[in-house]
Amino acid sequence: MHQPPPPQVSVLIPIWNVEKYIERCLRSVFEQTVADQAEFILVNDCSPDNSMEIAETVINDYPHLKNQIKVINHETNRGSAAARDTLLKNAAGKYFIFVDSDDWVEPNYLEELLNAAEREDADVVGCNLIMEWGNRSLIIKAPLPSDGKECVRKILAGELSGWLHIKLMKKEIIDLNPGDWWVEGLDLTEDLLFSVQFFYYAHKIVYIDQELYHYRQDNNSSLSLQNNLSEEKCNQLIGIAAKTEEFLKEKDIFSEYASELNERKIFTKIWILIKNSSPQDYFSLYPGLYKSIKIKNLQTLYRKTLLFLCDCRLYGLVNLILNVKNAVNRLRR
């Protein structure tokens, strides 16, 4: 029996609690100019709303894609890292890309990325995105360095986003390098850990200066957009930093990226102190970090002062600074 050729690209879509947005997302990917070269894999992570009923209705509107669409149901809610892991393990395409189910894409999203990947024989092709707030939009340029190791450096230092939805990636890198690409339960900034590992192995990286992805910023259920961090979410951030450090040490490149990893830890601690309701529980996290901060501007001075006071156990002053910072942010909004 004749077997059809494998798809050029696997479009990977985790689904959870997105009934307001899922229809627009799916129609935008099913109506791609090169939809015939793609497979579409959806993972239902036990969504508590009507997301999957809406998804099934949309799928039925595209009977010509019936054999290219696969729906996988998790038996329990396992989180975004586990959903991404399931998606990737079921991907058969030469390339893969993740699309978040509350976002949408331009009709030529896949075509432009695939053309660049094939033309350049690239391991990664990146593009720009448009942040969407409903009544306003903002174009975000996201140029990628051509060197994978430099990408690792910039991701750790916070100078380059780990956003997976604007990066077409070659599946061969995953197949040739088995490992803990995702850690179930570490769902906040899970793309950071994945990106550090992928770019470590990547050789040819290409960037196309086109805005092809619409990144929704008004979905309050999105983990990445939540303002209040629970203890669980704080521990996930700490866990991602720890697993990233573990990977760097495993590859014997920790010393090359120690400074950038400190930047990541500083970001993690500051984020937790600002967004957790009991910041005093994290004052002793990563002691001595303030020593690595070089004062360049008011922002770095603020960070160094805050972390220094934490190490000195001057918790009253830390709380005062945090309260003032939060008050200023509220006034700005």
pTM: predicted TM-score of the whole model, two decimal places: 0.92
State mean pLDDT over 134-158. Answer: 95
User: What is the model's pLDDT at position 220?
Assistant: 63
Structure tokens at 271: 């984020």
State mean pLDDT over 253-273. Answer: 94
Rounded distance, CA 98 to CA 41, Å? Answer: 10
User: What is the model's pLDDT at position 323?
Assistant: 83
Q: Beta partners for 39?
A: 10
Rounded distance, CA 213 to CA 129, Å? Answer: 5
Q: In percent, how much of the chain has pLDDT > 90? A: 82
Q: Beta partners for 235?
A: none
Model confidence at 329, pLDDT cuts 50, 70, 90, reads low
Q: Beta partners for 42?
A: 13, 71
Contact in structure between 266 and 293 (CB atoms under 8 Å): yes
Residue 43 has pLDDT above 80, yes or no: yes
Residue 328 has pLDDT above 80, yes or no: no
Structure tokens at 258: 């120690």
User: What is the model's pLDDT at position 243?
Assistant: 97
Tell me: the pLDDT tens digits for 157-195?
Answer: 999 999 999 999 999 999 999 989 999 999 999 999 999
- Written as one letter, the residue type at 193 is L
Rounded distance, CA 29 to CA 62, Å? Answer: 11
Model confidence at 203, pLDDT cuts 50, 70, 90, reads very high
The answer to whether the Cα torsion of 114, 120, 126, 130 is positive or negative is negative
Tell me: the pLDDT tens digits for 210-258?
Answer: 999 999 998 766 555 456 899 999 999 999 999 999 999 999 999 999 9
Indicate the average pLDDT of the chain. 93
Tell me: the pLDDT tens digits for 100-130?
Answer: 999 999 999 999 999 999 999 999 999 999 9
State mean pLDDT over 301-330. Answer: 86
Distance of CA 223 to the CA centre of its chain: 11
- The full set of domains in the chain, from first to last, is 9-224 (3.90.550.10), 226-332 (no CATH)
